[in-house]
Structure formats: C-alpha cells, structure tokens
C-alpha cells in the first residue's frame, strides 16, 4: 500500500497546535507507517507539493502571505483540516479586528519601539484588514477546534482520516479545549 | 385539586400538572434539552431559543420554557430540523460578539461553550462581526465584559427578582443592545448595587466575573438561586 501524503502548515498561530501534534509522541512512529510527512515547519521541504492527501492548517489568515499560502495549499490538498481555534475561529489573532490595522501596526512598530520606530516597507507581509478563519477563505473539510486540540484528539482525527472515515470531532475536542 | 394533563413527548404518554411549562416536563422526563436564558427560580425570558421544540399543529418551533402544557399536546424535542436550528442559534451567538474561549475567564466552565460542544458546533458558518466593545471594571469586586455577553438577562432577573435591587437593565435595540447598571452609569458608581454577586454567579458566560480571575479560573455557583427560593418558600435552608 502506498503511503498517504501528510502536510502541516503554520499560518497566524502560536505553534501550540504543532507542539500538540508533536505530543503524539511515540504514536508518530505508528503514523509514519501510514503517511509520509511531505511538508511542514517540522521538516525541511521548501515547496508545497503538488498532490497532498491531508493537510493540517494551524493559524488564522492574517496577512497577504497567509492568504496566498492557504489558496495554494487548498488547490493541492485532498482533505484540508483546520487545526485548532485560530484556524477554526480566528481566535486570539482576530482580537485585533475591532481596532483596525493602522492602530495595530502603529502600536507594534512605533509606540512600543524605543530605537528608530518605523513602519516596515519590505520583507514583512502586509496585514489583511481583518483576520479570518480558514473556512472564510477556502473550503475546509474537517474542523478540529481546541487551543490547542489535545494530542489524543489530533491522533484520533488523523487515524480516522487515514482510514477513510470522518472523525467524530464533537467527541474529541471543543472550542477552547 | 391540581389539574393534570396528558401529553405525548417523543412518542411517550406523559402526565403533567396544568401549571407546568413544557420545559419543566421535558426536564422531569430526563430529556436533555439545552438552555441558556432559562434558570430555575427566575422568571422565563424565552429569548435564547435553544429549547425550541416541535408542537404538532403549531406553525413554528416553540420555546419550551414559555409554552404551557395543554391536554393532548404532541411534542418532539430532537428532530434533525430542531437540532439544526439549535446549532444555528449557537453559531449566531458566537459570531455576534467576541467569544474567544481560549483566553476567557470561564473557559471550561461556560454554558455557551458547552452548548456548542454538546450540539456538535465545531465551526461557525457566519462571518464574525468582531464589534468593538467595552469592559466595565469600575466595581471593586466584579467586572462586566460586553464581549462575552449573550443578553440572556439572567443578571437582570436575578437582581430584580431574588436580590430585589434591580441594578441591571437592558438598553438599546437589536445589535446595539447592552446590559447596563443604573441608567448606564459605571457599575462601581451604582447606588442600588448591593455587591451581592448573584448576577456574576448566574451569568452563563464570562460576561460577568470576579475581579482577579484569569483564563479559565472563574467557576460559577449556579445552584444557590434554588436554595434561596426553597428557603423563602418552604423554609428549608440547606446548601
């Protein structure tokens, strides 16, 4: 049996969901018998592959880079999993939405800076007007809420997806879990 | 003598007192029906619409908490359509204000969060409004956070009906509706508030909490309204 291709992507999140993914611990060995991890912040492939079976997306869509990345990821993924509250609800990153981008950027790059306060003009991707959950931008196949979802929840969901089943999300996790 | 009526609940014949609401009977029958604005011991508001049930012959779903039982009523509580509508209600509540469970004082102890989990709400189909809302931390012991308020009015009712102070009220209409203290002056300046904390304890979410509580630290004691009512009416003071 050929192995399925698994990718993980990190948008606007704290990496806690990836930490929780790593907390699968020795069961990762079980997992990699069934899947190849073809793209992830945890491995060293630079480009998102053409055909991925399952992609876990951590984080909300907050800047231009996130926006382009998630569209590309969706186009090359069979099953897209919104992993954790930031991907599912936009969560903490979206707490800037009531204030607007200008205030947020000013706060970060001018008000709180002691040496040479200035707004970035290159390398830093421009922030979107509003932070949005992943399903606001592209179709999501499975929502796995939690902050972060527990390792058990992530593992159970992955096992279900690998075996071609729909994970029973309500039994595994919830918002804020 | 009390009048007894018979109704059909999910296909079973059930007896009830004529002065009971449908919700009373449904709960008596140990049928799990979610509610957010209902609280035993307080008057009913019928506002959250989570307890909607299908009553044969009625043109639309009825809120069980404000529907009196009648003879021969045929009621269903968990049709796919009702479950769908309950999920929509929870999703609309989550989209309307800033419910960021992960950093909320009642994370893990929240009625709205549990309602979502129970109903299998794992994402919200509506666009989050992210309104710019204020907090009132002027009270010495308690904080009001409009970001988490679902306008269930439990605070308004417990303050008026149990404490007798009527500090809380509702101002505004529609999306601009807010709970207010004493004609919208800061809570800390309220001359009518007795600082009893009943509003904080009955609040289903993190909208009212004790000062000093941080993420997931605030737990609420919901049973005390029942204790007080039982004490006052039956002279049984137990807790």
Q: What are phi and psi of B52, to 5 degrees?
A: -60, 135
pLDDT at B238: 76
Residue-wise pLDDT tens digits, B165-182: 999 999 999 999 999 999
Question: Both B137 and B193 in a single domain?
Answer: yes
Here the CATH number for the domain that contains residue B178 is: 3.30.70.20
Q: With CB atoms and an 8 Å threshold, state whether A170 touches B133.
A: no
Identify whether B92 is part of a domain. Answer: no
- Examine the pLDDT at A1 and tell me if it is beyond 70: no
B65 in Cβ contact with B35 (< 8 Å): yes
Identify whether B174 is part of a domain. Answer: yes
Mean per-residue pLDDT for A13-24?
A: 98
Residues in chain A within 8 Å Cβ distance of B107: 176
**What does pTM read for this prediction?**
0.94
Domain A4-95+131-172, what architecture? 3-Layer(aba) Sandwich (3.40)
Kindly list the residues of chain A whose beta carbon comes within 8 Å of any beta carbon in chain B.
82, 85, 88-92, 94-95, 97-99, 130, 132-133, 135-136, 140, 143-145, 147, 169-170, 174-176
Which candidate, B59, B68, B39, B35, places its Cα nearest to that of B49? Answer: B35
Q: What is the DSSP letter of A12?
A: B
Question: Both B111 and B204 in a single domain?
Answer: yes
Identify whether B97 is part of a domain. Answer: no
- Listed residues B78, B112, B133: the one ending a domain: B78
Identify whether B84 is part of a domain. Answer: no
Mean per-residue pLDDT for A73-88?
A: 98
Residues in chain A within 8 Å Cβ distance of B104: 176
Identify whether B95 is part of a domain. Answer: no
The CA distance from A52 to A57, in Å, is: 13
| Domain coverage including residue B114 | 102-234
Residues in chain A within 8 Å Cβ distance of B131: 98
ipTM associated with this complex:
0.93
Q: Where are the domains of chain A?
A: 4-95+131-172
Question: Both B121 and B206 in a single domain?
Answer: yes
The CA distance from B224 to B239, in Å, is: 8
Which candidate, B26, B28, B51, B24, places its Cα nearest to that of B40? Answer: B24
Residue-wise pLDDT tens digits, B213-235: 899 999 998 888 888 988 998 99
Q: Is the peptide bond before A148 cis (omega within 30 degrees of 0)?
A: yes
- DSSP strands (E only) in chain B: 4-9, 12-17, 52-55, 62-63, 74-76, 135-136, 142-145, 168-171, 178-181, 208-210
Question: Both B16 and B119 in a single domain?
Answer: no
- Listed residues B43, B78, B113: the one ending a domain: B78
Q: With CB atoms and an 8 Å threshold, state whether B123 touches A94.
A: no
Question: Both B197 and B165 in a single domain?
Answer: yes
Here the CATH number for the domain that contains residue B64 is: 3.10.20.740
Tally of structural domains, chain B: 2
Residue-wise pLDDT tens digits, A106-146: 999 999 999 999 998 889 999 999 999 999 999 999 999 99
Question: Both B117 and B184 in a single domain?
Answer: yes
B225 in Cβ contact with B41 (< 8 Å): yes
Q: With CB atoms and an 8 Å threshold, state whether A176 touches B124.
A: no
Question: Both B222 and B122 in a single domain?
Answer: yes
The CA distance from B31 to B13, in Å, is: 14
- Examine the pLDDT at B98 and tell me if it is beyond 90: yes
């Amino acid at each position: 049996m050929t192995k399925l291709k698994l990718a993980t992507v990190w948008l606007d999140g704290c990496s806690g969901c990836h930490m929780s993914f790593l907390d699968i611990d020795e069961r990762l060995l079980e997992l990699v018998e069934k899947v190849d991890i073809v793209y992830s912040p945890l491995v060293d492939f630079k480009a998102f592959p053409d055909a991925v079976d399952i992609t876990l997306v951590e984080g909300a869509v907050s800047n231009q880079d996130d926006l382009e990345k998630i569209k590309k990821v969706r186009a090359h993924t069979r099953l897209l999993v919104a992993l954790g509250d930031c991907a599912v609800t936009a969560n903490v990153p979206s707490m800037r939405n009531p204030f607007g981008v200008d205030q947020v950027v000013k706060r970060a790059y001018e008000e709180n800076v002691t040496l040479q306060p200035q707004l970035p003009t290159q390398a830093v991707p421009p922030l979107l007007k509003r932070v949005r959950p992943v399903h606001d931008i592209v179709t999501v196949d499975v929502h796995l809420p939690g902050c972060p979802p527990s390792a058990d929840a992530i593992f159970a969901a992955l096992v279900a997806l690998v075996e071609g089943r729909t994970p029973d999300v309500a039994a595994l996790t919830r918002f804020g879990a | 003598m009390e009048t007894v009526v018979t109704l059909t609940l999910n296909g079973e014949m059930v007896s009830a007192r004529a002065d009971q609401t449908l919700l009373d009977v449904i709960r008596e029958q140990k049928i799990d029906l979610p509610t957010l604005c209902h609280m035993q011991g307080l008057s009913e508001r019928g506002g959250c619409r989570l307890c909607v049930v299908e009553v044969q012959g009625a043109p639309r779903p009825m809120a069980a908490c404000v529907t009196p039982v009648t003879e021969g009523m045929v009621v269903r509580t968990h049709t796919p359509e009702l479950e769908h509508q309950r999920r929509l209600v929870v999703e609309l509540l989550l989209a309307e204000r800033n419910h960021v469970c992960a950093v909320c004082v009642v994370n893990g102890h929240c009625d709205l969060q549990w309602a979502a989990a129970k109903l299998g709400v794992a994402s919200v189909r509506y666009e989050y409004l992210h309104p710019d809302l204020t907090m009132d931390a002027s009270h010495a012991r308690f904080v009001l956070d409009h970001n988490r308020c679902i306008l269930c009015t439990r605070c308004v009712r417990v303050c008026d009906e149990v404490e007798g102070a009527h500090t809380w009220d509702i101002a505004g209409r529609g999306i601009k509706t807010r709970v207010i203290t004493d004609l919208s002056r800061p809570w800390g300046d309220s001359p009518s508030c007795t600082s009893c904390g009943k509003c904080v304890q009955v609040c289903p979410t993190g909208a009212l909490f004790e000062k000093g509580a941080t993420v997931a630290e605030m737990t609420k004691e919901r049973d005390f309204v029942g204790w007080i009512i039982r004490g006052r009416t039956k002279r049984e003071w137990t807790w």
